[in-house]
Amino acid sequence: MSKPEKLIIDGKRLDGRGAQDLRPIKFKAGVLKRADGSCYLEFGGNKVIAAVYGPREVHPRHLQDASRAIVRYRYNMAPFSVEERKRPGPDRRSIEISKVSRESLECVILQEMYPRSAIDIFVEILQADAGTRVAGINAASVALADAGIPMKCLVSACAVGKVDDTLVLDLNKDEDNYGQADLPIAMTPSGDITLCQMDGHLTEDEFRTALEMAMEGCRYIHQLQKQALIEKYGQMVSPPAQEAPAAETAEVKEEIFKEDVEEFKEQEQQEQGGEANE
Ligand code: ADP
């Protein structure tokens, strides 16, 4: 598409969103049978699948770290994910995205628990529509949890940008192509930033506002990630046992104990009676 004259008309973006709106987001945890953990994510026009394998033994062995698990992250755009077929295989962009995405997640993974092992994260972009790196991180975070990898918390990510001199949340493809700035961030629920990149120019004030907008977006995405995990595991995890009031519990325990003692005594008597008869 050629550059539209305006990207914001009467306060609305070309896809109908307001400046602070995210695109529709849908997570599904545990979609691949053979991976240890996985997640499918639709994030606007992006369609992404993340798979996690591990912790498993590292090959080749010289890559092993005796004190912790190594984390590997491979971001890959399928040739059919963009309008013009993309040349398959890694390129500078995918190598950079793999590196920063790995770093954004590595810091929440309890790597020390699995020395000499590897945790492999694969992210496949099936359909790209701007914001694929943040979509990949969101899906990978859920896939790691689905794989049961011990983590301090989930990581959530989204981008903010500037188009027509206005800050907007979650750039779409045209906004990404023709906008003035793009600021993808990832963060933990407690607000620690684990990824912060920027294309283009923002003033210091704009940067602060943009960061706050992105953080608000991440907080919302975090709720959706948790929801996806609850949907998969909620009904499988047994609900917390209905705890009886403490006094009652103690009484019941005492009662059971007394019954056991009585039973034991009866058995003893029976056995002794039996021996006497013999
Ligand atoms: P992100 O997808 O994280 O926003 P970029 O800003 O590098 O990363 O890319 C923006 C968008 O540009 C991508 O989501 C994708 O839609 C498109 N794009 C990226 N690389 C290519 C490519 N090699 N061919 C066609 N489109 C691409």
Domain boundaries, position 71: 8-236
Residue with the nearest Cα to atom 5 of ligand 1?
130
Q: Clarify whether residues 225 and 252 are in a common domain.
A: no
Distance 195 CA to ligand 1 centre (A): 18
Distance 160 CA to ligand 1 centre (A): 15
Place of tokens 């077929």: 85
pLDDT per residue as tens digits for the range 126-185: 999 999 999 999 999 999 999 999 999 999 999 999 999 999 999 999 999 999 999 999
In Å, how far are 74, 104, 152, 157, 220 from 189, measured between CA atoms? 24, 13, 10, 11, 10
Q: Clarify whether residues 269 and 163 are in a common domain.
A: no
pLDDT per residue as tens digits for the range 60-100: 899 999 999 999 999 999 999 999 999 999 999 999 999 99
Q: Clarify whether residues 174 and 67 are in a common domain.
A: yes
Best residue among 77, 85, 134 to mutate for probing ligand 1's pocket (most ligand atoms within 8 Å of CB) is 77
Best residue among 42, 48, 82 to mutate for probing ligand 1's pocket (most ligand atoms within 8 Å of CB) is 82
Q: Clarify whether residues 41 and 175 are in a common domain.
A: yes
Ligand 1 pocket, 153 CB below 6 A?
no
CB 186 within 8 A of CB 218: yes
Q: Could you tell me the pTM of the whole model?
A: 0.85
Beta-bridged to residue 233, according to DSSP, are none
Ligand 1 pocket, 161 CB below 6 A?
no
Q: What is the pLDDT of residue 163?
A: 96
Q: Clarify whether residues 21 and 143 are in a common domain.
A: yes
Evaluate whether residue 243 is within a structural domain.
no
Q: Clarify whether residues 266 and 231 are in a common domain.
A: no
Ligand 1 pocket, 47 CB below 6 A?
no
Q: Which residue has the higher pLDDT, 275 or 96?
A: 96
Amino acid at site 209: T
Ligand 1 pocket, 128 CB below 6 A?
yes
Q: Where are the alpha helices (DSSP H) in 132-245?
A: 132-146, 173-178, 204-233
Q: Clarify whether residues 260 and 223 are in a common domain.
A: no
| CATH number of the domain where residue 87 is located | 3.30.230.70
Evaluate whether residue 201 is within a structural domain.
yes
Residue with the nearest Cα to atom 17 of ligand 1?
130
Rounded CA gap, 85 and 88, in Å? 9
Evaluate whether residue 85 is within a structural domain.
yes
Rounded CA gap, 86 and 102, in Å? 23
pLDDT grade for 247, boundaries at 50, 70 and 90: very low
Rounded CA gap, 33 and 26, in Å? 20
Evaluate whether residue 213 is within a structural domain.
yes
- Four-residue CA torsion sign, 26, 29, 32, 38: positive
Angle at 143 between CA 139 and CA 149, to 5 degrees: 135
Distance 211 CA to ligand 1 centre (A): 22
Using H for helix, E for strand and C for coil, what is the string for 5-46? CCCEECCEECCCCCCCCCCCEEEEECCCCCCCEEEEEEECCE
